[in-house]
């Protein structure tokens, strides 16, 4: 009996190592829009645009897009008040379908898009910020993330010599969301009485630069 029991133990198969045979799952990398926005400068410029007739308006959206893939873009829109306040608003997105971007470009430019040189686009944004800071106005908080779509200051030369302000001094045109009283008070402190002009509209004129429903 002892010998049979011993032979049976010899024939018993070794236990399989299931853990060694099962492939380990690969870690999942989540790459949402913010991931690409923070690395936007790694992608080539796709194009840049302003609003048609921007020279006479004192304010224009500046749109810059980068090619994320053949069918997707990274882009930012900067609402630039080059008469006084600098970058009043900014929005950005990434992993965005190219077809949808092209369809929405007129909305982003608040009218007919006008393609512009990338140097001009950068000069409008950075020049307006520098001008506004002389009088105590900082870019909109959302510019912090949207600025990643821009190249660093000084990267691009512009063939145009832009004038910021109007007739050599700040010209504040109040928008629907501006605290006009506070802005005029700041201009009195920083520019001085008589060294700036302003227009405050009466009534609700709406906001022609409201882009929030583009993402719906």
pLDDT band (50, 70, 90) for residue 159:
confident
pTM higher than the cut 0.95: no
Helices (H), 77-203: 98-108, 118-133, 143-146, 180-190
Are the C-beta atoms of residues 78 and 126 closer than 8 Å to each other? no
pLDDT band (50, 70, 90) for residue 10:
low
% of the chain with per-residue pLDDT over 70: 79
Please say if the pLDDT value at position 74 is more than 50.
yes
Please say if the pLDDT value at position 48 is more than 90.
yes
Please say if the pLDDT value at position 4 is more than 80.
no
Percent of the chain as helix, strand, coil, to the nearest 5: 35, 25, 40
Region 77-90 average pLDDT:
97
What is the rounded average pLDDT for all residues in the chain? 86
Please say if the pLDDT value at position 93 is more than 90.
yes
**Beta-bridge partners for 160:** none
Please say if the pLDDT value at position 178 is more than 70.
yes
pLDDT in tens, 18-37: 455 555 655 555 688 999 99
pLDDT reported for residue 144: 97
Strands (E), 167-209: 171-173, 197-199
Nearest residue to 117 (alpha-carbon basis) of 78, 62, 76: 62
């Amino acid at each position: 009996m002892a010998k049979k029991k011993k032979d049976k133990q010899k024939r018993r198969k070794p236990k399989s190592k299931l853990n060694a045979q099962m492939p380990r799952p690969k870690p999942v990398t989540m790459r949402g829009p913010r991931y690409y926005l923070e690395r936007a400068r790694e992608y080539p410029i796709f194009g840049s645009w302003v609003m048609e007739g921007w020279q006479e308006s004192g304010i224009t959206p500046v749109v810059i897009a980068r090619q994320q893939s053949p069918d997707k873009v990274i882009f930012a829109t900067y609402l630039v008040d080059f008469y006084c306040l600098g970058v009043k608003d900014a929005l950005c997105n990434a992993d965005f379908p190219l077809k949808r971007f092209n369809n929405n470009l007129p909305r982003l430019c608040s009218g007919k898009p006008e393609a512009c040189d990338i140097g001009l686009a950068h000069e409008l944004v950075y020049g307006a910020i520098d001008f506004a800071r002389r009088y105590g106005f900082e870019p909109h908080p959302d510019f912090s993330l949207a600025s990643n779509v821009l190249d660093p200051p000084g990267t691009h030369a512009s063939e145009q010599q832009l004038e910021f302000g109007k007739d050599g001094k700040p010209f504040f045109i109040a928008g629907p969301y501006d605290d006009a009283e506070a802005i005029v008070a700041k201009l009195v402190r920083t520019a001085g009485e008589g060294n700036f002009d302003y227009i405050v509209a009466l009534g609700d004129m709406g906001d022609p630069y409201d882009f929030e429903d583009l993402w719906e």
